[in-house]
């Protein structure tokens, strides 16, 4: 049975595309067949993070408009034989495609793949409705900041309204700041949003380095962010992976002073 998962957030720049590239790569490396779909029409980025920007011929809008087949538009990953990217158009806008068309595309992709991972644009408009149209479930990405959490709450409500169950990733957590009381912890965020936690990604400069190189950070499991993404991948596969959650690193004094 194939599964379609939309990676969404509400607020922009919190790590959706990074998460899409990493989870797609990690899932493909476990042997599943995966297609990563860039649904951020007009702001093409997923190809860059996967290092496939020089191979694009056709895109998602071409497929939906019948100008080519999905097979023709998909690009095979450089490293993993089971991983494909369906890039988006850089010249069209979000209204170039309707939710019905996106739903149909996802249905078609189900025939060829175990996992369809959809990178959603920021916002709550048509681009969001397109991206969730064919999704079985959603991964909501937030950072532990007030604006991102507020927007995540709105998105979780909208997903509920569309009967799409959601799970949460807290990205860019700095344990040091949590310990000094200057950043909300993952428990705080989960408490506020009342949603199931799928994983926590620490703030990690390796994410920027991997973006520079077009090599997803999950391929470097010695990096903290890479290890966190591979734990999340195993949770998606149904394994129950304990949350190391950096919390046990908390010192005695912190525990003493934390209410």
Partner 1 sequence: MFSIRRLLGQRDSASVAKNRLQLVLSKDRIQISDAELKSMKEELYRVISHYFTVTPDNLEIEVLTRDGRAALSVNTPVEFPAR
Q: Are 151 and 214 in contact (CB under 8 A)?
A: no
Query: What is the number of other CB atoms lying within 10 angstroms of the CB of residue 251?
Result: 9
Q: Are 121 and 7 in contact (CB under 8 A)?
A: no
Contact between 85 and ligand ATP by CB under 6 A: the answer reads no
Write down the least CB distance from residue 257 to ligand ATP, Å: 26
| Candidate ranges 69-77, 142-150, 198-206, 232-240; the one touching partner 1 (CB under 8 A) | 142-150
Query: What is the number of other CB atoms lying within 10 angstroms of the CB of residue 66?
Result: 7
Task: From the list Mg ion, partner 1, ligand ATP, none, pick the one residue 70 interacts with, judged by a Cβ distance below 5 to 8 Å according to partner type.
Answer: none
Helices 186-193, 146-161: axis angle to 10 degrees equals 40
Contact between 159 and partner 1 by CB under 8 A: the answer reads no
Q: How far apart are CA 41 and CA 56, in angstroms?
A: 14
Contact pattern for Mg ion over residues 18 through 47, marking x by CB under 5 A? ---------------------------x--
Contact between 147 and ligand ATP by CB under 6 A: the answer reads no
Contact between 253 and partner 1 by CB under 8 A: the answer reads yes
- Phi and psi torsions of 168, nearest 5°: -115, 140
Q: Are 186 and 144 in contact (CB under 8 A)?
A: yes
Helices 16-29, 224-236: axis angle to 10 degrees equals 70
Instruction: Return the residues of window 82-111 that contact Mg ion according to CB under 5 A.
Output: none
Among 65, 78, 154, 162, binds partner 1 (CB under 8 A): 154
CB of 16 or CB of 94, closer to ligand ATP = 16
Instruction: Return the residues of window 190-209 that contact partner 1 according to CB under 8 A.
Output: 191-192, 194
Instruction: Return the residues of window 53-82 that contact ligand ATP according to CB under 6 A.
Output: none
| Candidate ranges 59-67, 85-93, 133-141, 151-159; the one touching partner 1 (CB under 8 A) | 151-159
b/e map 104-118, b = 16+ CB within 10 Å: ebbeebbeebbbbbb
Contact between 230 and ligand ATP by CB under 6 A: the answer reads no
Contact between 237 and ligand ATP by CB under 6 A: the answer reads no
Instruction: Name every residue whose Cβ is closer than 8 Å to that of residue 140 and which is 6 or more positions away in sequence.
Output: 8, 9, 10, 152, 155, 156, 159, 166, 167, 168, 169, 195
Residues that bind partner 1 (CB under 8 A): 145-146, 149-150, 153-154, 157, 160, 176-185, 188, 191-192, 194, 251, 253-254, 256-257, 259
Residues that bind Mg ion (CB under 5 A): 16-17, 45
């Amino acid at each position: 049975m194939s599964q379609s998962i939309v990676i969404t957030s509400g607020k922009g720049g919190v790590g959706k595309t990074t998460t899409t590239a990493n989870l797609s790569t990690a899932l493909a490396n476990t042997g599943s067949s995966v297609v990563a779909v860039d649904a951020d029409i007009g702001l093409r980025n997923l190809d860059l993070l996967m290092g496939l920007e020089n191979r694009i011929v056709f895109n998602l809008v071409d497929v939906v408009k019948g100008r080519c087949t999905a097979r023709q538009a998909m690009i095979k990953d450089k490293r993993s034989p089971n991983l494909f990217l369906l890039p988006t158009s850089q010249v069209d806008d979000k209204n170039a495609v309707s939710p019905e068309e996106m739903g149909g595309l996802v249905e078609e992709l189900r025939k060829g793949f175990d996992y369809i991972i959809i990178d959603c644009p920021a916002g709550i408009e048509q681009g969001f409705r397109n991206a969730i149209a064919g999704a079985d479930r959603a991964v909501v990405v937030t950072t532990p900041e007030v604006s991102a959490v507020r927007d995540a709450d709105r998105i979780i409500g909208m997903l509920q309204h569309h009967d799409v169950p959601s799970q949460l990733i807290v990205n860019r957590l700095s344990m040091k700041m949590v310990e000094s009381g200057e950043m909300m912890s993952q428990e705080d965020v989960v408490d506020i949003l009342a949603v199931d936690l799928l994983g926590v990604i620490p703030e990690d400069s390796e994410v920027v380095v991997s973006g520079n190189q077009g090599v997803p950070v999950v391929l470097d499991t010695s990096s903290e962010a890479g290890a966190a993404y591979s734990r999340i991948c195993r949770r998606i596969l149904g394994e129950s992976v304990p949350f190391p959650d950096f919390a046990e690193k908390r010192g005695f004094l912190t525990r003493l002073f934390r209410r």
